[in-house]
Amino acid sequence: MTTTTSSEISFLKNLQSGLFRFLGLLAFDVVIIWFLFNAFGMEFYSLGTVISIVAVVVNSIYLVPKLAPLRWMAVGLALMIIFVIYPIVFTVYVGFTNYGDGHLINKEQALEQIQKRTYLPEEGKAFSWTAYKSVNDEYALWLRDEAGGGFLAIPGEEIVKVESGTSGVGELDANGIPSSIEGYTRLNAIQAATDQNLTEIMFGVEGETVQVRSPSEAAELVPLYEYDQISDSFYDIETGITYKNIDGTYTAPFGETIKPGFRTNIGWENFVRFFTSPALRGPLIRILSWNFLFPTISVLTTFFLGLAIAIMFDDPNFPLKKLIRTLMLVPYTIPGLISIIIWRGMMNPELGVINRTLEQLFGANAAVPWMTEAFWAQIAILIVNLWLGYPYMMLICSGALQSIPSELYEAARVDGASGWQQFRKITLPLLLVAVGPLLIASYIFNFNNFNLIYLFIQGGPPIAGASTQAGHTDILMSYVYKLAFEGGGRGVEYGLASAMTVVLFFVVAALTMFQFRFTNMWEEVSENV
């Protein structure tokens, strides 16, 4: 990277910069090692792995002389690995799992939770009990086992064997029951038998819990499920049913399941579901066709309006040209979110200014159901996007128009071509060469234009009878968002949503490759020496 003019000065300079680099790298590595130590200590394995990769990349960039040019982008690359590439890898990985509601935790955690489930056995070790209640409606239980030992059981505290006189336990009566416990009053047999809450309360701590079983007996809860490691299944001791692990959920032969399930790899299941599930397919066909229709119409309308304006004012002598252009640029200068919310207000069916004006001009029936009827909602979105998009098209078209040599028009006029012919045969083809790639870029942008669809109308109005929350203006991206983050009645489904994202990526990547071919951008990269 540096030229060695073999002078001593340059040698010293190299030494100096090398030392500098070395010290910098050392400081970086110290911080990274501290960070990794913490990350793995807190069991953040994926974060730790990503940072380790970044550390390896950065170190090799600075230590391997061949990679020296990458020193110019080390920070950018590191941040890109962490916040762009890793999330993509994560998304692809999640696409092959059942991650989502009911499958949010890993297997270890799920096993632990399930093994904690207990039930009150019909038989087994039992105590006779006496209940006590405090003024704050807190309960305590005095338990006596067959040997006559007394235990004090309070929810959330360990059950302990207590002698009278300690822990606030008063004198024992003839039956070995304390007449009083500090802070609590004793309930008599009738009060205790009719108390609604008593049978619901778990006394003691997790793992050693006692519950009231009958007016005379309290018993210790025992684990409900027995785990068999070899067959990876749970045996329900109470009912005798075996639950086998099917795709991260312990499922009985008749379909009952134990919750929670766990995150696990389920192969191509999500992709298969995406393409074949009848519940998804119904709305999916609508969504897909709108997903292609919307960017197509949007690109065409914005392009032709922009082009028309560019041609109309492609005349240096047009009065007030600059002012007109500035005013027409206004939509481009307002942050998109603000514009979209403003349009949502203007197109509000009852109160919005557009419908009110239509009503004033053409009578009460002239109001348009912008937000409530599928067709009009789609028209509304196209109008808003036309407003948002045409200034950009106008700009790039007028730039490209000026690059078309005027001799071509003069030659055409000499040959007697009409204005329309000139437009068809000269303007449009030459213009498309220049702005074609941008049209595809705009298509790609609108293909995933989540912000517009979601902020304007949340993809609504809903498609009747769809099992998921699909709407008539939903594109795949907004549908994915709803599946992943809103869930509706079915719960969030990160796995399915990720699988759909991967499919979407291939569509968009294909379009992008096509665009590159169109622009010869690939070749341009190689040509530029």
Partner 1 sequence: MSSFNGIKRLTTSISFTKRFSLVIRFILALILIFFSIFPVLWIISSSINPSNSLASVKLIPDNWSLNNFYILLPSQGAAIREFSMNILGRDIFPHVPEGKFIFPFWKWWWNSIKIASITTILSLAITTTAAFAFSRFRFKGRQTMLKSILLIQVFPNLLALIAIFLMIAEVGDIIPFFGLDTHAGLILVYLGGSMGLNIWLLKGYLDTIPRDIDESAMVDGATSWQIFISLILPLLRPILAVVGVLSFIGTYGDFVLARILLKTQENYTLMVGLQIFTSGQFSLKWGPFSVGALMGALPIMIIYMTLQDQIVGGLTQGAVKG
Please spell the DSSP secondary structure of 428-462, one letter per residue: HHHHHHHHHHHHHHHHHHHHT-HHHHHHHHTT-SB
Gap between the Cα atoms of 314 and 337, Å rounded = 31
Binding of residue 356 to partner 1 (CB under 8 A):
yes
Instruction: Report yes or no: 451 and 340 within 8 Å, Cβ to Cβ.
Output: yes
Separation CA 140–CA 458 (nearest Å): 52
Task: Name the one residue in this structure whose structure tokens are 């066909």.
Answer: 285
Question: Is 263 within 8 Å of 103 (Cβ atoms)?
Answer: yes
Per CB under 8 A, which region of 180-188, 208-216, 266-274, 492-500 contacts partner 1?
492-500
* For partner 1, the closer CB: 40 or 227: 40
Centre a 10 Å sphere on the Cβ of residue 435 and count the other Cβ atoms it contains: 21
Residue 124 binds partner 1, judged by CB under 8 A: no
**CA nearest neighbour of 111 among 263, 256, 265, 255:** 263
Between 40 and 235, CB nearer to partner 1: 40
525 binds partner 1 (CB under 8 A): yes
Candidate residues 336, 461, 462, 487; the one interacting with partner 1 per rule CB under 8 A? 336
Q: Hey, which residues between 367 and 406 contact partner 1 (CB under 8 A)?
A: 387, 391-392, 395-396, 398-400, 403, 406
Q: Does 353 bind partner 1 (CB under 8 A)?
A: yes
The arrangement of strands across the sheet holding 225-228 comes to 225-228, 233-236, 242-246, 249-251, 257-258
Q: Smaller CB distance to partner 1: residue 377 or 453?
A: 453
Give the shortest CB-500-to-partner 1 separation in angstroms: 9
Site for partner 1 in 182-241 (CB under 8 A): none
Size of the site for partner 1 (CB under 8 A): 115
Interface with partner 1, residue 508, by CB under 8 A: yes
The reply to whether 65 sits near partner 1 by the rule CB under 8 A is: no
| Least spacing, CB of residue 413 vs partner 1, in Å | 8
6 binds partner 1 per the rule CB under 8 A? no
Determine if 329 is a binding residue for partner 1 (CB under 8 A): yes
Q: Which is nearer to partner 1, 10 or 231 (CB)?
A: 10
Binder among 166, 175, 196, 333 for partner 1 (CB under 8 A) = 333
By CB under 8 A, name the one of 11, 20, 22, 83 that touches partner 1. 83
Residue 420 backbone dihedrals phi, psi, to 5 degrees: -65, -40
CB of 459 to partner 1, least distance (A): 13
Q: 20, 22, 72, 268: which one contacts partner 1 (CB under 8 A)?
A: 72
Kindly state whether residue 272 participates in binding partner 1, applying the rule CB under 8 A. no
Name the segment binding partner 1 (CB under 8 A); options: 22-30, 169-177, 284-292, 518-526.
Answer: 518-526
Pick one of 131, 444, 452, 453: the residue that binds partner 1 (CB under 8 A). Answer: 444
Q: How far apart are CA 184 and CA 134, in angstroms?
A: 4
* Contact assessment for residue 227 and residue 117, using Cβ atoms and an 8 Å cutoff: no
Of 12, 26, 27, 67, the one binding partner 1 (CB under 8 A) is 67
Task: Output the 3-class SS for 137-156.
Answer: CCEEEEEECCCCCEEEECEC
Buried b (16+ CB within 10 A) or exposed e, 269-293: bbbebbeeeeebebbbebbeebbee
By CB under 8 A, tell whether 345 contacts partner 1.
Answer: yes
Indicate whether 514 belongs to the interface with partner 1 (CB under 8 A). no
- Binding to partner 1 (CB under 8 A) within 448-477 occurs at 448, 450-451, 455, 477
Per the CB < 8 A criterion, the answer to whether 244 and 251 are in contact is: yes
Task: Give the Cα separation of 322 and 313 in Å (integer).
Answer: 10
- Residue 462 contacts residue 469 (beta carbons within 8 Å): yes
Contact call for residue 343 and partner 1 (CB under 8 A): yes
- Of 85-93, 258-266, 273-281, 460-468, which segment contacts partner 1 by CB under 8 A? 85-93
Rounded CA-CA distance 139/157 in Å is: 12
- CA 335-338-342 angle, 5° bins: 140
Contact set for partner 1, span 22-61 (CB under 8 A): 35, 38-39, 42, 44, 46-47, 50
Choose, by CB under 8 A, the member of 65, 278, 335, 489 that binds partner 1. 335
Interface residue with partner 1, options 84, 135, 364, 414 (CB under 8 A): 84
Indicate whether 352 belongs to the interface with partner 1 (CB under 8 A): yes
Residue 79 token pair: 């941040």
